[in-house]
Each structure stands twice: as C-alpha cells, then as structure tokens.
Chain A
C-alpha cells in the first residue's frame, strides 16, 4: 500500500453564489496523519472534503496533494478516495464487486478482482460475505465494505465524511478503534470529518475545529481540549463552564478578570491569545467541570468560586453538581468517584477551588451553543 502524502489547503475560499461556505482556510496535513475536521452541522466540512476530492472547484486558493497543485484535476485522477456520508455502495453489485470496482475500471480480470476483494474482506473481518448484496449487510458491515472499497483503489489520501454517524453508540465506539487500527496498518493519510468531538479526540493526530466556514483552531487533541484558541473551540469541544467579565490586570500569561458573578478570578491566557488581552476588555474564562475540587465553604481568593447548588446527580464514575452560574447557565462540577460519600448539598452555598493553569482566559466571543 502506498505511503500517505501530505495535503495542503492554501487560502481556500469556497462560495455558493453569495454564500461563503469556506472562508480562507489554511491547513497543512502531514503525510500519514489521521486528521479530523470537527465542527457543527452545516459549517462546511463536507464542502472542504468535496473540494479535496475534486468534486468542487475552489473559488479561490489552492489544494495541494503531495505537493502537487490539484487545480483542474478531476476526481478520477486524484490520489484520493472518499467515503461518502451515506456510503454510496453500489446497490446492484455484490459486496466483492463493490470492493473491487476500482480494479474493474482498470480492466483487471474477474479472478484478480475476486482475489483482492477476498483479501480486503478478510482485513475487515467479513470473510465469506463477498457474495451478498450491500442491502443484506448490517450497518457496521456496510461501513467496513465502504472502507475496503476505498482502500482497494490504493489511494494516498482517504477522505471520510462522518462515516460513523449512522451507527449506534456501541458500534460507533468499536469502529473508532478499528478505523484507527486500519489507518496505522495501511499508513496512508486519513482526513476525517465529524461533528462528534469524542470521535475527533480519540482518533486524530490533529484536529481542525470549524465554525461556519472558518477554521478556529488546528492542533492535536490535547491542545484543543486544554488550550482552546477561541470561545467556540472551548465550548464546542467537551463540556466547559464559562465565566464572563472584564480584564482587570494582565501579567505575562496570567490575567485577572473581574467576573460578573464570582468576584475576581485568576486565569491563564490561552496560548493563541497571549498578548491580545488588555485591561478593560471583555473576557471569558473557561473551566472544565472536572477541573474543580471542593474547598472549605467561605474560602475566598482569586481561584475560588462560591455558588448555590441547584441540582445534583450521580453518574457512576462522577458525581455532578450544578450551581447557579453566570447568564442563566449553570456551573457544572464533576467530582470523580473514589468511593467517598456524597452528601447532598442542595440549596446550600458551596465553594470550589481550581488550579489557575486549568482556567483558560480569552477575549469574549461566540460560544458553540449560542
């Protein structure tokens, strides 16, 4: 199997009439990486993928695959294979014919095709099912057939458009690991599209977070999760509590924010925003539910938050406490379950402590849920 090649998007713009679907995207994807585009529905993920696979001409900018500009190169001439959002298996062909379609195009004999299809069927753990029709397979099996069909074309880049979205939770989790394994085995570049942040985090070497045609942040999972660049990225990836306020004082990468409800809070300026925050600016601080710990009630300081408990729930691995928060939204706190006793504190005021490194500050902006 061919080694993966890099994919570069340079100042990529894609417009549909007046509507801008992708706005000035700049992405460098390393060869052999598992790269994800993560964003809510309608943010332009599929559009980018269609441009990479050649079904759509960019309005501006360039797409380079393996360093070669793809302008004017048709989809059948690009070293990419796309796994469609709805799979698009050929309904009238048997499974093995589906898989070996790319060889049929090149004029391979039936014997050769059958042999290769059987190899791939074995790889996707569907031995002996080659003579079925796609409609006779389960959703997960179809999924794997689509992957095998794409791999059979020996692409340098495999493009996957939310391939797991139609599957149920259990199967989705299983397929995540399987996909990742297949990618390691074949060693080609995977560009993966999803609106599921769990999927993106578990599988990807690198993630691009997209919002309405704009790429907000590119980085590995840990960076995206721990050091979000924008309020959108902070609130879209994983759960987050937001504290709004005004910048009171900046020193290096530490910022003191006069919050609307919780007094003065000290936080770390996210890496992308160092030097961009000034006194008096509107700011947002994001602290994840699991970054809090309980403190002695009434303790005050710049890394303590006190609020009244409105609800509690036991989730098994964590104990969730919901407190009155800023702007009508509740503060969520998840305490890990070590077997300790959880007394109900409903209606009481509780005090929480956080590590300043885990509180990320940035200029105020649009949140994912708004």
Chain B
C-alpha cells in the first residue's frame, strides 16, 4: 500500500523529470515537420519536409555550420594539446605548488565567457598592433581569434578530463619503457599516449561540443566568420522559422546516433573481451569466433532500428509532396477569412445603416491558437510584416481598416513562408 504509493510517486517524478528534460526537444522536433511558417506543433496542419530543404538552401546557416566546423576543429586541436600539456605538468610539478597551479589553470572556467571574449579581442589587437600588422592580418582574423578565445577555457575542461585519466596511470609503466631502452619521447608515444587515448577522445568530443555551442565568447571574436550559433542568434532577432527546428532536429538525431553507436561499440568490446576470457588457448589461436554483432547488444539493435527509421523517413521525404494538403489548408483558411470578412462587412453595413456614431475597426480576426504565435511573430518578424502587407494575401482583405493588424495577418499567410524561409 505504502510502497506502491512510493513507487507511483517515483514514476510520476520520473515522468515529470523526463518531460522537463526532453519535452522541449520533442515539441521542437514536431514543429520541424509542421507546415505553418511560425514553429508550432499544436494546430497540426500538414506534414512537410520543406523546412529541411529550406534549411539546406539557407546560405547563411550553411556558412555558419562551415565556420563552426572549422573553428571546432581548430579548438579541438588546440584545447586538447593545451589540456594534455597542463595535465602532464600537474603530475610533474613540485607537490607544494600543485594546488596553486590547479587553481590557476581552472580559473578560466570560472571567468564569464563575455570577459574572455573581450579580453581575447583586446589582447590580440594589442599584439597585432605591436607587431605592426594591419587589420587584415591572420592575428585579427575571426577564425584565429575565435579558436584562441574559445580554447582559453575549453582547454581547462579538457585538462579536467585528462587529469582524471592520468591519475589512474601507473608511472611505473613509463619507467618500465625507459628501462627497456625507450627514450622519453618513445615512452610517451608508445605507452602514455595509448593509455590516454580514450580520455583524449572524450575531451576532443567535449571540446568540439563546447566550441560548437559557444556564443558568449564567440560573439566578440567572430569577425567575418559567424558561427552557427551566431547566425541563429541573428536570425532569431529577425524572426524564427521551422527551418531552425529542422536543424535542431538533425542535431538531435545525430547526437542520438553517435551516442548509440558509441554504446554499441563499448558493449561489443565487452562481449568480445568476455568471449576471449572464456576461450581456450586453442580457440584463441584457431581464430576468434566473434559473437554476432547484435546478440546481447541492445544499443546495436536500437542503432539498426534507428538507421532503418532514418532511411524510411528520407525515402518518404523524397517522394512525399504536401502541396495538396497545404493547398487545402490555404483554401480552408481563405474561406474562413472570407467568411469573417463577410461578417465584418455585414456588421459594418449594419452599423452604417443604423447611422449611429462611427466605431473604430473591430479587433483583428484571429483564430484562438494562432493568436499567441501571431503576437510573437509580430515582435520577431518584421520581415513577414512587410510580406504580409505587400503580397495581396487572401486574408489581407480581412484586416482592412487598420494597418497595424496586418502584422498578425501576415503570420497566417502561407505565402509569407517564402519570405522568412529563404
């Protein structure tokens, strides 16, 4: 009785927790497949893949992705190298200095990214000038500054990851290598580095993700090389479109894929190791029989299922045309709008007939669900405002009377999609 109550509340807690964690992602993913121009999930209109093609036709987004990848790669290399050097130094340094050194090297994590960005900019500008270089030198290039700026604190993250692994390293291994005739460089390359490889890989992933999502520091340093986050931020200022949702959806899917692949690989290695341990000498020499790729490997099964799912979705996307649905919805909306305009006209006529005192125009006609998003669209989307005003949209008739209302109307206008999508 009591325990079941506890169990139920635990489940409820978990449900809330995961809804909190994953809910926004799910909703946003849904908006990527819905046809309205403002990302919305609830009045589900038409299944569409157009936002994806809109995304891949957006030169600024693509350029942002390219810059992000370049900067990410640079940051990974620089941060992992600096992190490794820092971690190694930590184990070598005189023990009494260790705590102080650690604090200094960790400090960049605690400093606000904005400060790092500004100081990077100022510092390298100084250096640039001191060297007598012009404003178009490599030292003042956005790529260089962003990589350097991000690395100042990402290197610290990398160091934390690497130190954790390094602490489990037995220095006797290096000594054994030296004892067997290796030089220090050889001992490092053949013994320490392979040991550190998993940590180097995870710190590289960490560094890449941190670089990819960074905004605070990058916003000061990007120069002529806006990264994806910068582009997104700038876009949102002028109006948000489901194309961004589709980008987010792609990132989510890639992340899940990577996580599953990693998990499947780890599991597979475990299975192989277990099989090897059980194998006799004869079996080992006579060629190892690997367990089937999928047996006992849930992650691999999920991976395959997701892969198949992706192929199916891509296949559907290639053939599916939501034009009919969109046209239907548009037609329906037009009818609605016409009806409303009709009503309005009728009411005005009635009013005029009554010849009572003139009244200002009625509030903008809007469906209940559209109202919220519409007000958002007004704030964020001056572009669609113009579109709505200039294109002779069907429901523009509905909002005759007061110019301010055309902004609301523009959001509903399917034609406005082209305006914000490109």
Contact check, A84 vs B172: say whether CB atoms are below 8 A apart. yes
Most B Cβ at <10 Å: residue of A86, A88, A150: A88
How far is A150 from B285 in the complex, measured between Cα atoms in Å?
25
Say yes or no: A82-B285 contact (C-beta < 8 A), given A88-B170, A132-B276. Answer: no
Any B CB within 8 A of the CB of A64: no
How far is A88 from B373 in the complex, measured between Cα atoms in Å?
65
- Encoded as 1 (CB less than 8 Å from any A CB) or 0, chain B from 62 to 85 comes to 000000000000000000000000
Say yes or no: A136-B277 contact (C-beta < 8 A), given A92-B194, A105-B181, A105-B186. Answer: yes
How far is A149 from B178 in the complex, measured between Cα atoms in Å?
13
Q: Which chain A residue lies CB-closest to B197?
A: A92
Contact check, B175 vs A128: say whether CB atoms are below 8 A apart. no
Q: Which of A81, A92, A104, A132 is B179 in contact with, Cβ under 8 Å?
A: A81
Contact check, A88 vs B181: say whether CB atoms are below 8 A apart. no
Q: Which residues of B contact A74 (CB under 8 A)?
A: 178
How far is A150 from B176 in the complex, measured between Cα atoms in Å?
9
Q: Which chain A residue lies CB-closest to B277?
A: A136
**Chain B stretch 173-207: residues in CB contact (< 8 A) with chain A:** 173, 175-183, 186, 190-191, 194-195
How far is A99 from B170 in the complex, measured between Cα atoms in Å?
19
Q: Which residues of A contact B284 (CB under 8 A)?
A: 128-129, 131-132
Contact check, B179 vs A105: say whether CB atoms are below 8 A apart. no
Contact check, B179 vs A75: say whether CB atoms are below 8 A apart. yes
Q: Which residues of A contact B183 (CB under 8 A)?
A: 76, 105
Task: Tally the A-B contacts, defined by beta carbons under 8 Å.
Answer: 70
**Chain A stretch 111-162: residues in CB contact (< 8 A) with chain B:** 128-129, 131-132, 136, 149-150, 153
Any A CB within 8 A of the CB of B99: no
Q: Which residues of B contact A84 (CB under 8 A)?
A: 172, 175-176
- Encoded as 1 (CB less than 8 Å from any B CB) or 0, chain A from 319 to 351 comes to 000000000000000000000000000000000
Q: Which chain B residue lies CB-closest to A131?
A: B284
B contact residues, total (Cβ < 8 Å): 22
How far is A84 from B186 in the complex, measured between Cα atoms in Å?
19
Most A Cβ at <10 Å: residue of B181, B194, B276, B284: B181
Contact check, B281 vs A75: say whether CB atoms are below 8 A apart. no
How far is A35 from B345 in the complex, measured between Cα atoms in Å?
113
How far is A28 from B177 in the complex, measured between Cα atoms in Å?
28
Say yes or no: A81-B180 contact (C-beta < 8 A), given A86-B170, A131-B284. Answer: yes
Contact check, A136 vs B182: say whether CB atoms are below 8 A apart. no
Q: Which residues of B contact A54 (CB under 8 A)?
A: 179
What is the minimal beta-carbon distance from A70 to any residue of chain B, in angstroms? 14
Contact check, B276 vs A104: say whether CB atoms are below 8 A apart. no
Contact check, B175 vs A88: say whether CB atoms are below 8 A apart. yes
Q: Which chain A residue lies CB-closest to B281?
A: A128
Contact check, A105 vs B182: say whether CB atoms are below 8 A apart. yes
Any B CB within 8 A of the CB of A354: no
Contact check, B172 vs A104: say whether CB atoms are below 8 A apart. no
**Chain A stretch 79-95: residues in CB contact (< 8 A) with chain B:** 80-82, 84, 86, 88-92
Any B CB within 8 A of the CB of A53: yes
Q: Which of B172, B190, B195, B285 is A88 in contact with, Cβ under 8 Å?
A: B172
What is the minimal beta-carbon distance from B294 to any residue of chain A, in angstroms? 25
Q: Which residues of B contact A153 (CB under 8 A)?
A: 180-181
Say yes or no: A55-B181 contact (C-beta < 8 A), given A90-B191, A105-B186, A136-B276. Answer: no
Q: Which chain A residue lies CB-closest to B288?
A: A131
How far is A266 from B176 in the complex, measured between Cα atoms in Å?
53
Q: Which of B176, B191, B276 is A82 in contact with, Cβ under 8 Å?
A: B176
Any B CB within 8 A of the CB of A185: no
**Chain B stretch 347-383: residues in CB contact (< 8 A) with chain A:** none
Any B CB within 8 A of the CB of A102: yes
**Chain A stretch 45-96: residues in CB contact (< 8 A) with chain B:** 53-55, 74-76, 80-82, 84, 86, 88-92
What is the minimal beta-carbon distance from B195 to any residue of chain A, in angstroms? 6
Any B CB within 8 A of the CB of A276: no
What is the minimal beta-carbon distance from A73 to any residue of chain B, in angstroms? 12
Any B CB within 8 A of the CB of A101: yes
**Chain B stretch 249-285: residues in CB contact (< 8 A) with chain A:** 276-277, 281, 284-285
Any B CB within 8 A of the CB of A106: yes
**Chain A stretch 284-299: residues in CB contact (< 8 A) with chain B:** none
What is the minimal beta-carbon distance from A50 to any residue of chain B, in angstroms? 9
How far is A54 from B175 in the complex, measured between Cα atoms in Å?
10
Q: Which of A75, A102, A131, A149 is B175 in contact with, Cβ under 8 Å?
A: A75
Q: Which residues of A contact B277 (CB under 8 A)?
A: 136
How far is A54 from B176 in the complex, measured between Cα atoms in Å?
12
What is the minimal beta-carbon distance from A118 to any residue of chain B, in angstroms? 12
Say yes or no: A92-B195 contact (C-beta < 8 A), given A76-B183, A84-B176. Answer: yes
Q: Which residues of B contact A75 (CB under 8 A)?
A: 175, 178-179
Contact check, B180 vs A105: say whether CB atoms are below 8 A apart. yes
- Encoded as 1 (CB less than 8 Å from any A CB) or 0, chain B from 155 to 176 comes to 0000000000000001011011
Most A Cβ at <10 Å: residue of B170, B175, B177, B180: B180
Contact check, A102 vs B180: say whether CB atoms are below 8 A apart. yes
Q: Which residues of B contact A149 (CB under 8 A)?
A: 180
Q: Which residues of A contact B281 (CB under 8 A)?
A: 128-129
How far is A73 from B194 in the complex, measured between Cα atoms in Å?
28
How far is A54 from B285 in the complex, measured between Cα atoms in Å?
39
Query: Could you show 29 A-B contacts with beta carbons less than 8 Å apart?
Result: A53-B179, A55-B178, A55-B179, A75-B179, A76-B179, A76-B180, A76-B183, A80-B179, A82-B175, A86-B172, A88-B173, A88-B175, A89-B176, A90-B173, A91-B173, A91-B195, A92-B194, A92-B195, A101-B190, A102-B180, A102-B181, A104-B190, A105-B177, A105-B182, A128-B284, A129-B284, A131-B284, A132-B276, A136-B277
> 16 more A-B contacts (CB under 8 A) besides A101-B190, A105-B180, A105-B186?
A74-B178, A75-B175, A75-B179, A76-B179, A82-B176, A84-B175, A88-B173, A90-B177, A91-B195, A92-B194, A92-B195, A101-B180, A102-B181, A128-B284, A128-B285, A129-B284
User: Which residues in B have some Cβ–Cβ distance to A below 8 Å?
Assistant: 170, 172-173, 175-183, 186, 190-191, 194-195, 276-277, 281, 284-285
Give 9 closest A-B pairs by Cβ, nearest first.
A88-B172, A88-B176, A102-B180, A75-B178, A105-B182, A82-B179, A76-B178, A105-B181, A76-B181
